Chain A
Amino acid sequence: MSVEKILPTPDADSKPFWDGCREHRLKFQQCGVCGEVRWPPSILCPQCHSQNTRWMEASGRGTIYTFAVYHQAFHPAFKGKLPYVVAVVKLDEGPMLLTNLVGRPPDSLACEMPVQVEWDDISEEYSLPKFRPI
């Protein structure tokens, strides 16, 4: 029996991010005045309050800020994936992103480990940016 996947829920602000993911490009808003790269998307720069904004592409490199290992399925769609790792990755460009860590056993992970983005195409429309320790 197949369980329906949970897909991201873009809104008008985050749509460019998810559109970028579909092309395997990690895109964030950057302030045109002070250069701050921000997440989540917003109309104002949280540093200098400027509305001058452009979208930039991040390198996909960062470090593990923190992580948690799910041993219980909170939704049937994740039952077959246990144990899996949810993490916050601090990207080299600044923003922190909620994601999954892949490619390593959970007990070999540690905060501050360097990671690189790896794409998971979960449907025709959506690709999730996940990260692998390097």
Chain B
Amino acid sequence: MLDAGICNYVVISYGHSGLWGGGMRQLLFNTRASEAAFGHFGAVGRYALAARRGMHAFSRGPDTWKHIAMGQRKWANLNPAAIMHAKPMSEEDYYGAPLVVEPFRLFDNCQMNDGGRAIIVTSAERAKDLKHRPALIMGMGLDNPCNEIAQAQYTAGPTGAKKAGRAALEMAGIGLADIDACQIYDCFTYTVEVTLQDYGFFGYGEGKDWFKGGTIEPGGRMPVNTSGGQLSEAYFMGLTPISEAVMQLMGRCGPRQLGPKTQTKEPQIILCSDNGGTLQSHACLIFRRG
């Protein structure tokens, strides 16, 4: 629409009343499907089934996921807007939290919150005259492996991230080595592990070692979910990762800004993911500094 000159600016917004409204609850407590007769409800149970199969196929489970939950919490501790800003998380906190749907403990789950996010898209030409330095879209990829979750045999990978990631990198004309940071859709910790694995950041089953030693944290070599993400900042569907990527490339992230402030590389290129259903659809977006 921008290229065709139909409009000059597009706002992509998302808002919800996840805490006091009904939408998020319906996602979590839906009783209409026949699955509910077996006590199976919504997103937590479905992702727990996916994660268990992942544990069977490659994952060390909580041993890997604790690095994701704690690493993202460290970023949230630098973000005053994050729901978990004032709450550090130790390994004891992670393992001591109640089991929700096993293998998930409480801190493997994202936030439920009220609020919203928006981004504005325009042409690179028009962006030159705007107040802030823009982030430019370098590449995009989509892959939707399945629409019938009961028969899905890809929940331990490869998920849609594999093809979508490859397509986005190809469009951008870069390789994984050029990525400075990632903002990954993180409805659950497992989603981050399987997504990064399918993108190729580490080999099949090598997640535990890759995350060890603060890889994704402030000071780490591949920062991930630098606002705290959906696990520790707030859940706004795909706009949690995308808005953070754009803000980081604009240099507008305050104490959590990638670069010298957080002993990380100043970001030129950031990769983002979004997924829908239970790993049923996937989008990968790559942005660069304008």
Point out residues on A near B: beta carbons under 8 Å. 5-10, 14, 39-40, 65-72, 74-75, 77-78, 81, 83-84, 86-88, 95-100, 106, 110-112, 122, 126, 128, 130
Shortest beta-carbon distance from B74 to chain A in Å: 27
Q: Is the CB of A9 within 8 A of B41?
A: no
From 24 to 63 in chain B, residues with beta carbon under 8 angstroms from any chain A beta carbon are: 28-29, 31-42, 44-45, 48-50, 52-53, 56
From B33, B34, B101, B153, A68 is in contact (CB under 8 Å) with B101
- Can you list 28 A-B contacts with CB-CB less than 8 angstroms, sorted by A residue number? A6-B31, A8-B34, A39-B150, A40-B150, A66-B52, A66-B53, A66-B56, A66-B155, A68-B49, A68-B52, A69-B99, A69-B101, A71-B100, A71-B101, A72-B98, A72-B100, A72-B101, A75-B39, A86-B38, A86-B49, A87-B49, A88-B49, A96-B151, A98-B38, A98-B40, A98-B150, A110-B56, A126-B37
For the complex, is B102 an interface residue (Cβ under 8 Å from A)?
yes
Q: Classify the interface of chain B: helix, strand, loop or mixed.
A: helix
For the complex, is B92 an interface residue (Cβ under 8 Å from A)?
no
A residues less than 8 Å from B32 (CB atoms): 9
From B29, B52, B53, B150, A74 is in contact (CB under 8 Å) with B29
Q: How far is the CA of A83 from the CA of B50 in the complex (A)?
A: 19
Query: Contact residue range for chain B?
Result: 20 to 34
From 86 to 119 in chain B, residues with beta carbon under 8 angstroms from any chain A beta carbon are: 98-103
Shortest beta-carbon distance from A79 to chain B in Å: 10
Q: Is the CB of A7 within 8 A of B37?
A: yes
Shortest beta-carbon distance from B227 to chain A in Å: 27
A residues less than 8 Å from B129 (CB atoms): none
Q: How far is the CA of A69 from the CA of B99 in the complex (A)?
A: 9
B residues less than 8 Å from A87 (CB atoms): 49
